[in-house]
Structure 1
Amino acid sequence: MLEQTLSEVYTKFKIHFYQEMFNHLHSRETSLTTVEMFCVEVIYALKNPTVAEFANFINVSSPNAAYKVNSLIKKGYIEKIQSETDRREYHLVVTDKYINYFNLSQKYVNTVVERAQDYFTPEQIAFLDDILRDMSLELMKDVAIPPVSINPN
Structure 2
Amino acid sequence: MTQEFNIINAQLVRVFNDILTIEETELRKSDFSDISIKEMHTIEAIGMGENKTSSEVAKDLSITVGTLTVAINNLVKKGYVDRVRSETDRRIVRLKLTDRGRLFFRAHQDFHKKMVTAALEGMDEEEREALTKGLKSLHYFLKQYY
| TM-score over 0.5 (shorter chain) | yes
- Where in structure 2 are the equivalents of 1:41-60 lying within 5 Å? 41-42=41-42, 44-45=44-45, 48-50=52-54, 54=58, 58-59=63-64
User: Which secondary structure does the structure 1 equivalent of 2:82 belong to?
Assistant: strand
- Call closer, same or farther: CA 1:50–1:86 in 2, change over 3 Å: farther
Two-structure CA RMSD over aligned residues (Å) = 3.5
Percent of aligned pairs with the same amino acid: 23
Alignment of 1:114-133 (within 5 A): 114-133=117-136
| Residue 79 of structure 1, CA deviation | 0.8
Contact 2:53 2:92 (C-alpha < 8 Å) held by counterparts: no
Higher relative contact order (CA 8 A, sep 6+): 1
- Of residues 15-24 and 94-103 in structure 1, the stretch that sits farther from structure 2 once superposed is 94-103
Superposed displacement of residue 31, structure 1: 5.1
Tell me which residue corresponds to 1:147: none
Q: Does 1:87 align with 2:90?
A: yes
Q: What 5-or-longer segments of structure 2 have no aligned partner? A: 1-5
2:42, 2:57 within 8 Å by CA — same for their partners in 1? no
Q: Retained in 2: the 8 A contact 1:76–1:95?
A: yes
C-alpha offsets along residues 68-126 of structure 1, whole Å, 9 cap, x if unaligned?
43331122111112235532121222334233324444323322322333322221012
TM-superposed deviation, 1:59: 4.5
